[in-house]
Amino acid sequence: MKSHVWRTLFVVILLVVGIMVFRLFYVPSDFGSGKRGFMYSYHRFSNEGEWKAQPIKYRDTGKQKMHEYCGECHDDVVEVRTEDLHGTIACENCHGPAFDHPEDPEELVIDRSRALCLRCHTDLPYTTSERHRIPGIDPKEHNVDEMCVDCHDPHNPRLEDM
Amino acid sequence: MERRDFLKKSIIVVAGASVPLSALELVDPKEVLAANPDIHWAFLLDTHKCVGCGFCVKACKTENDIPFNAKVTRTWVERYVYTKDDRRYIDSPNGAQDGYTESRIDLGQGNFKEIDPENVGKAFFVPKLCNHCETPPCTQVCPVGATYKTDDGVVLVDRTWCIGCGYCIMACPYGARFFHPVEKVADKCTFCYHRITKGMETACVNACPFGARKMCNINDINDPVTQIIMNQRVGVLKDEFGTKPQAFYIGLAQEVR
């Protein structure tokens, strides 16, 4: 047992110590396990705060409160809104995120495309699905090349009120 | 009185005086609930109510800055069509970010299949997202400790720590993870962690006009959604994998996996 074994062993020990020292400085001090243990929750704790700090874009108001909020300034629209037809659709679905509206953005988008309405109103022959409860049209036949909102009021689509 | 005794007693007095002060502070009950370590977030999806409008996908992508022109998404809606001659078709064009505006089935690679309306037996839509499993395989495989489960039950990815190896994307049995084309890291549903921790609903729950998506603290037995999970027949996806998913479904079918 002479020198050659000691030499490799020394190199290995040096490597291990080197890696440990590097690790000591490189790994953030708040690395640790949550209550689910090492296997599922070994992480940098400050990352949770980073996710919490993501910017919010959509208002959280629930449908009814949404209408109350928007109604403060757009009560003409909210008044014609039909509770039984489009009343369940939150305004932001069609007008985009409005967390800081009317400061930022000052105006919301108005999407007059047919695609917006066709999400729900394309006729699909699915009698067993809830989709069947929504009146459907064939987009290739129902007044092609015209915008739906030229004839239908998106806030009150009731056919009798047309 | 000895000095030690004096110090001890004054500490007790100070401690005692400060408790009622903090108890008198006015707090938002939602904030307290959000800071509650006993919270455990769970999700409930009702496939009977879903009409496949895709507003949830649109809201999710907008809220979380997921590009619309890339074929990746944190949540998506699948369409299941069973024909009367016992064939089953499943598709989800672009994750249904624009809804289902065509009756033909997207078979992939530019192939489509038109199904005779007379032949359609049953058909339905199933919204999907990360199940935030109780024993998530994705966090087990991460070689650098970049993905983890928080104490309130949400599986997150540390974007500064992720090396983009893609191991977790392979490990997820539900295909809920993807490679973020802009951030260049693994990405997934966060249950809108920035919203729920402030007492708000997730963007998708907020967007759904038909109440097909709901969220709850499953440790709070008085929560109406928790009551549904406890008292009604709900199922989870791929139970046999032992991942203990925390997204519960009403109206599952065998093919929905």
Question: How far is B213 from B190, CA to CA, in rounded Å?
Answer: 15
Whether A52 and B194 lie within 8 Å, measured CB to CB: yes
Note the pLDDT of residue A68: 79
Whether A139 and B101 lie within 8 Å, measured CB to CB: yes
Per-residue b or e along B126-135, where b marks 16 or more CB atoms closer than 10 Å to that residue's CB: bbbbbbbbbe
Give the residue-averaged pLDDT of A9-32. 93
> In this structure, are residues B23 and B227 in contact, taking their beta carbons and an 8 Å threshold?
no
Note the pLDDT of residue B16: 57
Give the residue-averaged pLDDT of B22-40. 56
CB contacts < 8 Å between A and B, how many?
147
| ipTM of the modeled complex | 0.86
Note the pLDDT of residue B161: 93
| Helix or strand holding residue B217 (H, E) | strand B213-217
Name the band, by pLDDT with cuts 50, 70 and 90, for residue B21.
very low
With beta carbons under 8 A apart, name residues in chain B contacting A35: 151
**Higher-pLDDT residue of B193, B25:** B193
Name the band, by pLDDT with cuts 50, 70 and 90, for residue B24.
very low
Percentage of the residues of chain B whose pLDDT score is greater than 70:
88
Question: How far is B65 from B4, CA to CA, in rounded Å?
Answer: 59
Q: State whether residue A49 sits within 8 Å of chain B by CB.
A: no
Shortest Cα distance from B230 to chain A (angstroms)?
A: 23
Whether B210 and A93 lie within 8 Å, measured CB to CB: no
pLDDT at position B185 over 90: yes
Extract the tokens encoding B186: 């693994």
Whether A131 and B52 lie within 8 Å, measured CB to CB: yes
pLDDT at position B17 over 60: no
Q: Which domains does chain B have, with CATH numbers?
A: 3-12+20-35+132-187 (3.30.70.20)
Note the pLDDT of residue A103: 84
Shortest Cα distance from A87 to chain B (angstroms)?
A: 9
With beta carbons under 8 A apart, name residues in chain A contacting B210: 88, 130
How is chain A split into domains, by residue range?
68-160
Calculate the average pLDDT of chain A.
Answer: 88
Name the band, by pLDDT with cuts 50, 70 and 90, for residue B13.
low
Note the pLDDT of residue B35: 53
Of B133, B168, B170, the C-alpha closest to B42 is B133
A21-54 tens-digit pLDDT: 999 999 888 898 988 889 999 999 999 999 999 9
> In this structure, are residues B155 and B139 in contact, taking their beta carbons and an 8 Å threshold?
yes
**Of A84, A124, A132, which to mutate for an interface test with B (greatest number of B Cβ within 10 Å)?**
A124
With beta carbons under 8 A apart, name residues in chain A contacting B149: 34, 36, 40-41
Whether B51 and A129 lie within 8 Å, measured CB to CB: yes
User: Given phi > 0 = left and psi -120 to 50 = alpha, else beta, which region is A3?
Assistant: alpha
B212-247 tens-digit pLDDT: 999 999 999 899 999 999 999 999 999 999 999 999
pLDDT at position A17 over 60: yes
In chain A, what is the greatest distance between 2 CA atoms, to the nearest angstrom? 102
pLDDT at position B30 over 80: no
Note the pLDDT of residue A76: 85
Q: Give Cβ neighbours of residue A139 (< 8 Å, ≥ 6 apart).
A: A114, A118, A122, B101
With beta carbons under 8 A apart, name residues in chain B contacting A144: none
pLDDT at position A64 over 70: no
Q: State whether residue A54 sits within 8 Å of chain B by CB.
A: yes
* Helix, strand counts (H, E) of chain A: 7, 2
**Higher-pLDDT residue of A57, B13:** A57
Calculate the average pLDDT of chain B.
Answer: 88
Shortest Cα distance from A34 to chain B (angstroms)?
A: 6
> In this structure, are residues B253 and B121 in contact, taking their beta carbons and an 8 Å threshold?
no
Question: How far is A139 from B102, CA to CA, in rounded Å?
Answer: 9
pLDDT at position B27 over 60: no
Q: State whether residue A93 sits within 8 Å of chain B by CB.
A: yes
Note the pLDDT of residue B19: 53
Nearest to B194 among A53, A96, A127 (CB): A53
A70-87 tens-digit pLDDT: 888 898 888 887 778 888
Name the band, by pLDDT with cuts 50, 70 and 90, for residue A145.
confident
In B, minimum Cα distance to A99 occurs at B63
B119-175 tens-digit pLDDT: 998 999 999 999 999 999 999 999 999 999 999 999 999 999 999 999 999 999 999
Whether A44 and B145 lie within 8 Å, measured CB to CB: yes
Whether B59 and A35 lie within 8 Å, measured CB to CB: no
Nearest to B193 among A51, A120, A127 (CB): A51
**Higher-pLDDT residue of A102, B4:** A102
Note the pLDDT of residue B257: 84
Q: State whether residue A29 sits within 8 Å of chain B by CB.
A: no
User: Given phi > 0 = left and psi -120 to 50 = alpha, else beta, which region is B161?
Assistant: alpha
Q: Give Cβ neighbours of residue A88 (< 8 Å, ≥ 6 apart).
A: A63, B209, B210
Note the pLDDT of residue B22: 45
pLDDT at position A160 over 60: yes
Note the pLDDT of residue A78: 82
| Helix or strand holding residue A27 (H, E) | none
Give the residue-averaged pLDDT of B16-21. 52
User: Given phi > 0 = left and psi -120 to 50 = alpha, else beta, which region is B108?
Assistant: left
Write the DSSP assignment of B138-153 as a string of letters. Answer: HHHH-SSS-EEE-TTS
